[in-house]
Structure 1
Amino acid sequence: MNRLRYRLLLLGIAPLFVILLVVIFASSSLLRSQVILSNLLNDYSRQALLASELLANRPDVWQNRRLAQDILIRMAEIIPTRLILFDPQGELIASSDSGDALLIGTRFEFPNTNDAFSQGNIVLAQVGNDEGLLAPIRDSLNNLQGYIFLSTPFAEFTRRTTTLVWILLLTGGAGLLLGVLLALGLTQDIERPLKHLSQTAYTLALGIAPPQPIPEDGPQELKLLARTFNAFLERLQTLETSRKRLLANLVHELGTPLGALISAVQALLSGAAEETALRDELLQGMDQELRRLKRLTDELTHLHNQAFGAFELHYQTIHPTEWLSAFLAPWAQAAREKHQQWQVELSDNLPSLNADADRLAQALGNIIHNAIRYTPSGGKITIQAFADEVHFHFIVCDNGPGISPDEQSLIFEPFQRGSTAQRFPQGMGLGLTIARDLIHAHGGHIEIESIPGRGSCFKVRLPLHKSDPNAESQDR
């Protein structure tokens, strides 16, 4: 009984078994006492009354026993049962059954019948080994002339009803067995997916082997449970893949700048500091590598904050025209250093924007950085900013290699890098993920339009009047 299927089976079969027994015995008892026995008793009572009335009009049968014997035999043709005639003292004087010839003249006692006969009732009595109905025979003056006994098949009836009970028990048992077999099949349908689920969860917990998705079968609720577990398993496998990719990227991203820094420091210690031009070149390279490490730590910090729920925004009023002019200046310089065309189109009278300036600069900077990185020398980068009644729009377009439609659906996922990015090994594949998260945190939306070989456009939409949830909680 430690198995779920047997407990479910017992839960369904036990009440059915009890109900089946109660119904069988109740129905057989009701059938015997209230239907068959009652109808049989009524039929034989009418026949006994008819026989007593016929014999009451034949006073000569009491003086001529042979005549009485002939009358009973003829009456047995009408009343198909054994008829026995007694005188008032209980002496058997005639019978329709030739087998009773040796009993003629024998006296029988009928106990507890005097009161009943005084009321003229037909009573149950036993003559020898036979059970039947005993009816008094009275003349027109109500004087007792004798008794007529009708043998009734009550014993046979009892035997047949007992057989009926056994038939009901056997058919009920067969039905119950069929129900058990059917219930076993149904409970197995419930147990099988749960067993797969528990085994897969156990394998996953112990790390014995790579867990496999479980079949989505069984009842609708178990299908939903299996589908949820498979989604959870797929998510775990994705996280495990991301973890391994993160470790590999970390080794690469930390190793490259650290190696360059070590080489520069060793060069400076070896006398390169004495040469001004070489020293400045080494220091400039060290500065670039340190900035690269700083960007890496910023990305990892964002990833940590997102995982542990420490992500917060500090809203303030931003005037886009002034803010964008200062924000875009360093990126314009970076584009010029790569010999790229830089074009900025800002609408006049941009309305103020409620946002976290630092976080918004990080999000938009990651998009612009992505465009500068993948746009070749001589390419063009266009920045557009405008607003409608409720939204602020910021668009970054380039004429770089573009992104294939299959990769566009994955470009915002952590550590995902398109085929074009393989030619630019720097970075951990977190820039666009961070941009998307920060824009969504502002209540905004980001989307991409790209044609392979012709470039890409990243479109950002932000609400103009997004309220600060921290300020609202403080007001409450």
Structure 2
Amino acid sequence: MNRLRFRLLLLSIAPLVIILPVVIFASSSLLRSQIILNNLLNDYSRQALLASELLANRPDVWQNRRLAQDVLMRMAEIIPTRLLLFDPQGELIASSNSGDTLLIGTRFEFPSTNNAFSQGNIVLAQVGNDEGLLTPVRDSLNNLQGYIFLSTPFAEFTRRTTALVWILLLTGGAGLVLGIFLALGFTQDLERPIKRLSHAAYSLALGITPPQSIPEEGPQELRLLARAFNAFLERLQTLETSRKRLLANLVHELGTPLSALISAVQALRSGATNDAALRDDLLQGMDQELNRLRRLTDELAHLHDQAFGTFELHTQTINTSEWIAGFLAPWAQAAREKHQQWNVEIASVLPALNVDPDRLAQALGNIIHNAIRYTPSGGKITVQVFADGSEFHFIVADSGPGISPDEQSLIFEPFQRGSTAQRFPQGIGLGLTIARDLIHAHGGRIEIESSPGRGSRFEVILPLRTSNWNSEAQVE
């Protein structure tokens, strides 16, 4: 009984098992005793009393059998049932049924009328194979003149009621069996997808078999559950692929600067410190590789925060114009080192922003870093900063290789990079993911416009409050 199928089956057939027999027996009892039988009994009792009163005023009927036959036939026109007339000794003297001619003169044994069941000493009696009401006929002096017998359909009604009960039992039993089979079919249809889903989830949890999607079948709720499981499985497979890619990228990203650092350290230990120019070059290269490692650890820290839900912002109100000027200075130097054209267009009036300056610098820095990385020497990078009545805009446009429309929806996913970035293997594919998450954390969004061969344009949009304009900063 611990299986879902049995519980659903019991839930389906329990009402039938309990209610159906009660309904059958209650219906048969009601038909037999409460409604039809009582009504018939009352009707025939009144007819029997009427016939008894009519014959009580005809003493000549009991002396003349032919006259009794005629009277009984006329009474049969009023009382449409079989009428039998008996003398006080129980001998049949007349009948409204012509088929009883041979029975005239036959004596029958009757029950005592002292055990009457209604007024007029009417009793149920059996005459041959016929059941009916036997009523004594008495004169005005209460002397017994004879009996009149009214044939009633009680026996037939009883037989038909019994047959009806059996029909109800048979149809009810057949309905119960059919209900059980239907319930079995329905419960199997419900149990099959649930069992398949539970086995797939259990196998996935234990790693027994390779994860496989399950068919979406059954009721709408179960199809939705299967669809959710398949989406969850697809997500797990994507994460597993990303994990493998992350490990491979980490090996490469950690190996390259570590190899350079080891080589530089060995050169310094081998006497490179005696050559000032060589020493400075080695130290500068080591500093670059260490910065590269720091960016890598920052990206991994962000990935950890995103996975474990510990990502937080420490907001403060900043003078936007001064902050932007200080933020863009080192990136301008990085662009000039790659011989790129660096253009900056900043609005003369910018509102104060309530942001986490370090996190915002990280987000905007990742976007500018991508632009510098993928723009070739001699290319152009343009930065625009302005605000309208409700939003702050930070735009970075480059003349790099561009991004195809199919890849634009993927570049913000972890560990994903466009096909044009394959020529630039640096990084583990988290820069734009981090930028998107940080901008979203500030309540903003990132929009992209790009096409292959025509460069890319990233626009960061942050919401402004009206009060932000109360602390304006002017750039001279």
Q: Normalising by the residue count of structure 2, what TM-score does the alignment of the two structures yield? A: 0.88
Instruction: In structure 2, list runs of 5 or more residues that go unmatched.
Output: 468-476
CA RMSD of aligned residues (A): 2.7
Hey, what does 1:447 align to over in structure 2? 447
**How far does the alpha carbon of each residue in 1:305-357 deviate from its partner, in whole angstroms, 9 at most, with x for none?**
22222222222222222222222111111111111000011110222222122
Letter in 1 for 2:211: P
Residues 394 and 460 in structure 1, CA contact (< 8 A), matched pair in contact too? yes
Distance (whole Å) between structure 1 residues aligned to residue 150 and residue 362 of structure 2: 112
Hey, what does 1:179 align to over in structure 2? 179
* 1:79 positional shift: 4.8
Taking only the aligned residue pairs, the percentage that are identical comes to 79
**How far does the alpha carbon of each residue in 1:231-272 deviate from its partner, in whole angstroms, 9 at most, with x for none?**
322222222222222111111110111112122222222333
**How far does the alpha carbon of each residue in 1:166-206 deviate from its partner, in whole angstroms, 9 at most, with x for none?**
01111122222232333233223322221121111111111
Hey, what does 1:192 align to over in structure 2? 192
* 1:9 positional shift: 1.8
Distance (whole Å) between structure 2 residues aligned to residue 107 and residue 185 of structure 1: 62
Residues 91 and 105 in structure 2, CA contact (< 8 A), matched pair in contact too? no
Hey, what does 1:92 align to over in structure 2? 91
Hey, what does 2:112 align to over in structure 1? 110
Residues 193-272 of structure 1 correspond to what in structure 2 (within 5 A)? 193-272=193-272
Question: Are positions 1:395 and 2:389 aligned together?
Answer: no
Distance (whole Å) between structure 1 residues aligned to residue 316 and residue 451 of structure 2: 37
Distance (whole Å) between structure 1 residues aligned to residue 263 and residue 175 of structure 2: 88
**How far does the alpha carbon of each residue in 1:44-97 deviate from its partner, in whole angstroms, 9 at most, with x for none?**
33543454345335423433457657866886797542624131xx44253543
Residues 316 and 357 in structure 1, CA contact (< 8 A), matched pair in contact too? yes
Distance (whole Å) between structure 1 residues aligned to residue 325 and residue 51 of structure 2: 127
Summarize the Cα distance change of 1:417–1:109 in structure 2 as closer, same or farther, 3 Å threshold: closer
Letter in 1 for 2:386: F
Hey, what does 1:170 align to over in structure 2? 170
Distance (whole Å) between structure 1 residues aligned to residue 146 and residue 104 of structure 2: 19
Summarize the Cα distance change of 1:316–1:67 in structure 2 as closer, same or farther, 3 Å threshold: closer
**How far does the alpha carbon of each residue in 1:261-292 deviate from its partner, in whole angstroms, 9 at most, with x for none?**
12222222233333333322222222211111
Summarize the Cα distance change of 1:326–1:153 in structure 2 as closer, same or farther, 3 Å threshold: closer
Distance (whole Å) between structure 2 residues aligned to residue 112 and residue 121 of structure 1: 7
Residues 5-154 of structure 1 correspond to what in structure 2 (within 5 A)? 5-64=5-64, 68=68, 79-81=80-82, 83-87=84-88, 90-94=89-93, 96=95, 97-98=100-101, 100=103, 103-104=106-107, 108-113=110-115, 120-126=120-126, 131-139=131-139, 143-154=143-154
Q: SS at the partner of 2:150?
A: strand
Residues 450 and 457 in structure 1, CA contact (< 8 A), matched pair in contact too? yes
Distance (whole Å) between structure 1 residues aligned to residue 117 and residue 328 of structure 2: 125
Summarize the Cα distance change of 1:356–1:80 in structure 2 as closer, same or farther, 3 Å threshold: closer
Q: SS at the partner of 1:112?
A: helix
Q: SS at the partner of 1:249?
A: helix
* 1:112 positional shift: 2.0
Hey, what does 1:432 align to over in structure 2? 432
Residues 354 and 466 in structure 1, CA contact (< 8 A), matched pair in contact too? no
Residues 412 and 436 in structure 2, CA contact (< 8 A), matched pair in contact too? yes
Residues 135 and 148 in structure 1, CA contact (< 8 A), matched pair in contact too? yes
Residues 136 and 147 in structure 2, CA contact (< 8 A), matched pair in contact too? yes
Residues 81 and 151 in structure 2, CA contact (< 8 A), matched pair in contact too? no
Residues 446 and 460 in structure 1, CA contact (< 8 A), matched pair in contact too? yes
Letter in 2 for 1:354: N
Residues 272-351 of structure 1 correspond to what in structure 2 (within 5 A)? 272-351=272-351
Hey, what does 1:474 align to over in structure 2? none
Summarize the Cα distance change of 1:290–1:28 in structure 2 as closer, same or farther, 3 Å threshold: same
Q: SS at the partner of 1:311?
A: coil
Distance (whole Å) between structure 1 residues aligned to residue 196 and residue 90 of structure 2: 85
Of the structure 1 ranges 10-19 and 153-162, higher mean CA displacement relative to structure 2 is found in 153-162
Summarize the Cα distance change of 1:287–1:187 in structure 2 as closer, same or farther, 3 Å threshold: same
Of the structure 1 ranges 299-308 and 149-158, higher mean CA displacement relative to structure 2 is found in 149-158
Q: SS at the partner of 2:215?
A: coil
Residues 111 and 125 in structure 2, CA contact (< 8 A), matched pair in contact too? no
Distance (whole Å) between structure 1 residues aligned to residue 12 and residue 404 of structure 2: 58
Across the two proteins, how many residue pairs are aligned to each other? 462
Of the structure 1 ranges 324-333 and 47-56, higher mean CA displacement relative to structure 2 is found in 47-56
Of the structure 1 ranges 216-225 and 321-330, higher mean CA displacement relative to structure 2 is found in 216-225
Distance (whole Å) between structure 2 residues aligned to residue 108 and residue 66 of structure 1: 24
Of the structure 1 ranges 50-59 and 305-314, higher mean CA displacement relative to structure 2 is found in 50-59
**How far does the alpha carbon of each residue in 1:7-65 deviate from its partner, in whole angstroms, 9 at most, with x for none?**
11211211122211111111111112233323432453354345434533542343345
Distance (whole Å) between structure 1 residues aligned to residue 224 and residue 73 of structure 2: 81
* 1:115 positional shift: 9.8
Letter in 1 for 2:48: A
Residues 8 and 187 in structure 1, CA contact (< 8 A), matched pair in contact too? yes
Letter in 2 for 1:393: H
Distance (whole Å) between structure 1 residues aligned to residue 392 and residue 401 of structure 2: 28
**How far does the alpha carbon of each residue in 1:338-397 deviate from its partner, in whole angstroms, 9 at most, with x for none?**
110000111102222221221111111111110000000110000111112232211100
* 1:436 positional shift: 1.1
**How far does the alpha carbon of each residue in 1:430-466 deviate from its partner, in whole angstroms, 9 at most, with x for none?**
1111111111111221111112111001101123449
Distance (whole Å) between structure 1 residues aligned to residue 84 and residue 40 of structure 2: 17
Q: Normalising by the residue count of structure 1, what TM-score does the alignment of the two structures yield? A: 0.88
Residues 391 and 464 in structure 1, CA contact (< 8 A), matched pair in contact too? yes
Distance (whole Å) between structure 1 residues aligned to residue 65 and residue 102 of structure 2: 16
Instruction: In structure 1, list runs of 5 or more residues that go unmatched.
Output: 468-476
Hey, what does 2:472 align to over in structure 1? none
